[in-house]
Amino acid sequence: MTDATETRTPDSRPTGGLSAQYQPGEVEQRRYEKWVSEGYFTADPKSDKPPFSIVIPPPNVTGSLHVGHALDHTIQDTLARLKRMRGYEVLWLPGMDHAGIATQNVVERQLASQQLSRHDLGREKFVEKVWEWKAQSGGAILGQMRRLGDSVDWTRERFTMDEGLSRAVQTIFKRLYEDGLIYRANRIINWCPRCLTALSDIEVEHTDDEGELVSIRYGDGDHSIVVATTRAETMLGDTAVAVHPDDERYKHMVGTEVKLPLTGRRIPIVADEHVDPSFGTGAVKVTPAHDPNDFEIGQRHNLPSLTIMDERAVVTVPGPFEGLDRYEARPAIVDALREEGRIVAEKRPYLHSVGHCSRCKTTVEPRLSLQWFVNTGPLAKAAGDAVRDGRVTIEPAELAKRYFAWVDNMHDWCISRQLWWGHRIPVWYGPAGEVVCVGPDDEAPTGEGWKQDEDVLDTWFSSALWPFSTMGWPEQTAELEKFYPTSVLVTGYDILFFWVARMMMFGLYAMDGQQPFDVVNLHGMVRDGHGKKMSKSFGNVVDPLDWIERYGADATRFTLARGANPGSDVPISEEWCQGSRNFCNKLWNATRFALMNGATVQGPLPEPAELSAIDKWILSRLQHVIGEVDQYFETYEYAKVCDTLYHFAWDDVCDWYVELSKPVLGAAGPEADRSRRVLGHVLDQLLRLLHPVIPFVTEELWIALTGGETVMRASWPVADPALVDDAAEEELAALQKVVTEVRRFRSDQGLKPSQRVSAALTGLGNVGIDTHEPLIRSLARLDPPAADFTATATLAVSGAITVDLDTRGAIDVAAERARLEKDRAAAEKEAAQCRAKLGNESFVSKAPEQVVAKIKDRLATAEADLTRIAAALQALPTS
């Protein structure tokens, strides 16, 4: 009896409910809702299964799924699904980051459209407004994660500003404060005049910008000294000139004073080893309030620090420049110095490194400011030790050098931000100068004159707690006991410093030396098919949601994973995504074919002795593939996993095994039944192997093939050494060699695929494939020799096999010879051009390495074409 849900083809053969073509849109949402409703993603901390846990790098609440997220989430989901099938209790914990600066900017822009500012609302009302925005518009990315197929535990979704995580923030702040690892001080910080807040070092992006280097003479006559600067406006805040103590040119001037132009102030000349005597004039102006190096010089020499600009980078020094923006003040001051004859030299354009706010791209202003800092010294040392002693492994290992370069040279971390959205610093100031740090269970001071610190914490402060705060810390929860330390952190190498190092510092500190994760799996940045960085200005940005809409989530995921080599950038193109869609269609069609031909997963596999060489071969190949995939997963080589499965599925299963099995499957009897069982087994195992990367199509196909509940809960394939058959693999390799050589000849001669040619096959018995002659003839479209057979072309195949073909009447010899000669001329021209370029030493030495490599590849292709064309010409009939 036929199941009511089962469809039938016109010839009434069952297809397991599968439509004629795969339509991702008809499958993905339905399957995802089923997975969630059935609780397949929900982790059980009481389970006796071994734990495997990942915390998702929390996307900004303002964000949407971009191609970097899609790569990162594809890798994490692949690992989560793999581990579930391997019998682990998997927690993949989702959530979002409150993204202090970015979110505040979004809501302030909305207010500005209504001619309002946050100050019009006041702090409390503004924060309420942000929460309203978050409820209505924030978190769109969570729905987009569902489109991609993320198998996260939605019951444990967290937000860095929710009640539990806020408690964790207050707890660790107070502990660090009481341990002397958090302090408040006047220090030089990075200041964004647009966002009006301090930034940490890693929130500043440096680019080489064009500017002007101006040399200015301080003092007069023999007692003058020349300094150079790209920021002439800061001279208003100079409090010294510094020279190296061993610089003979200036030794007589150390301890004296010079007159600072335009101001009338006299400033000292000091000796400091920080100065490089070989750079410029060997003398540097010292502006302690507006340069981090100058600040250190000022501290060593007890120099005053004069702040000359306000928070918007507007000059505040009384006089002709007061009220000018820094960019207005700069040329005005240079003009004034020029009028006084103080300009010694001007160099423009002058390329130099300039810091920019990573969010709004405004040029950052170094500024002396009272801020809160984390003393990172002991924390960073612990973070470095955890990798050095093997508690944490960085994959790929070569990226550990970058990690050590950061943690071994870390500056103290400025954690206060002049914002209203975020975790407010839990410190109160009293009327008599009291300072009280308040924990989550403490009563805040009340009474006249008590006031809480106005600043909020850096967003990365709360994100640094993510691996344990999301599991309920500081409470001792079942989740922490089961799933901490987390198993692996998957993230891009670009936030190794932003996030990974900080989680290491806080995790080790808060969790008594327990690392936050066992493995850090770093992947590269997504680039276009030419290896070029994606940019809106280049017009090469990929929207993964667009690809999901047009090609399906599986095709998008497979494209990303197939380019993901450890630590390397990931090239992708739409053409490759189309190829991935074709791959999904290939699996669909192969499974439909198998179902229509009675493939089954019922009962045990036949004994090897009962199987044909073809069945033995595909089972043997399957065992090798399982082993290779396991090995590549262990080393996080997702591209190799995908490539191995792609070629096994497309080449071995679809192009060879299915074709080789058609004559048997179309018959009746025990041999056909055995092949149907083998075909069912191979597809069952293949769909399981592919499921972690392409979950939707494999779920649909596996259920149709097996009738099971979900492939997600099917066991992961295990290689069976007893099914490895070297003899069968050698036998089929010889068969494939013959068919491939004949097909190549047919293609070179321009024969249509359907056109049959008479041929004599000799030597098949030399390699034990004479019993496969009917198959070879079927696959290569070869007829037995007729009575008038005349060999016009001969192919010599390895293993002393010869194929004589009668191509009379099948080929227009003259036309084919003309075509091949034309192709040979084009290949010779290409080869000559490439050899000329590679023989040019000037070109090879100056051209980028990738350009030279491309020319070498072109030459190799041309030479291969010449060899192929020569063989094709030789094989043409002489008459």
Q: What is the pLDDT of residue 818?
A: 82
Q: What is the pLDDT of residues 731-754, one digit of tens each?
A: 999 999 999 999 998 888 888 888
Superfamily for the 567-711 domain: Isoleucyl-tRNA Synthetase; Domain 1 (1.10.730.10)
pLDDT, average across residues 243-254: 94
pTM recorded for the entire structure: 0.85
Is residue 805 predicted with pLDDT exceeding 50? yes
Among all chains, which residue has been given the structure tokens 């010839």? Answer: 11
Q: What is the pLDDT of residue 849?
A: 78
Is residue 534 predicted with pLDDT exceeding 80? no
Torsional class of 74: left (φ above 0), alpha (ψ -120 to 50), beta (otherwise)? alpha
Q: What is the pLDDT of residues 154-195, one digit of tens each?
A: 999 999 999 999 999 999 999 999 999 999 999 999 999 988
Distance (Å, whole) CA 671 – CA 175: 73
Q: What is the pLDDT of residues 683-713, one digit of tens each?
A: 999 999 999 999 999 999 999 999 999 999 9
17 band by pLDDT with thresholds 50, 70 and 90: confident
Q: What angle do CA 10, 11, 16 make, to 5 degrees?
A: 80
Q: Are strands 517-523 and 393-395 parallel, antiparallel or unpaired?
A: parallel
Q: What is the pLDDT of residue 120?
A: 95
Cβ within 8 Å of residue 293, ≥6 positions away:
274
Is residue 549 predicted with pLDDT exceeding 70? yes
Phi and psi of 562, rounded to 5°?
Answer: -70, -15
Distance (Å, whole) CA 520 – CA 302: 45
Q: Which residues of 2-33 are buried (b: 16+ CB within 10 A; e: fewer)?
A: eeeeeeeeeeeebbbebeeebebeebbeebbe
pLDDT, average across residues 247-263: 94
Q: What is the pLDDT of residue 11?
A: 46
6 band by pLDDT with thresholds 50, 70 and 90: very low
Q: Is 536 annotated as a binding residue?
A: yes
Residue of higher predicted confidence among 483 and 538: 483
Q: Domain map of the chain by residue range?
A: 49-181+376-523, 197-366, 567-711, 732-875
Q: What is the pLDDT of residues 462-498, one digit of tens each?
A: 999 999 999 999 999 999 999 999 999 999 888 888 7
Phi and psi of 778, rounded to 5°?
Answer: -65, -45
Q: What is the pLDDT of residue 879?
A: 57
CATH number corresponding to 49-181+376-523: 3.40.50.620
Residue of higher predicted confidence among 533 and 721: 721
Q: What is the pLDDT of residues 622-668, one digit of tens each?
A: 999 999 999 999 999 999 999 999 999 999 999 999 999 999 998 88
Q: Of the ranges 52-56, 222-226, 388-392, 478-482, which one carries the lowest mean pLDDT score?
A: 222-226
3-state secondary structure at position 733:
helix
Residue pair 767/801 in contact (Cβ under 8 Å)? The answer is yes
Superfamily for the 197-366 domain: Valyl/Leucyl/Isoleucyl-tRNA synthetase, editing domain (3.90.740.10)
pLDDT, average across residues 811-838: 86
Distance (Å, whole) CA 456 – CA 103: 13
- Please state, rounded to an integer, the average pLDDT across all residues of the chain: 92
Q: What is the pLDDT of residues 344-382, one digit of tens each?
A: 999 988 888 999 998 789 999 999 999 999 999 999 999
Answer yes or no: same fold for 49-181+376-523 and 197-366: no
Q: What sign results for the dihedral spanned by CA atoms 188, 189, 190, 192?
A: negative
Neighbours of 206 (CB within 10 A): 10
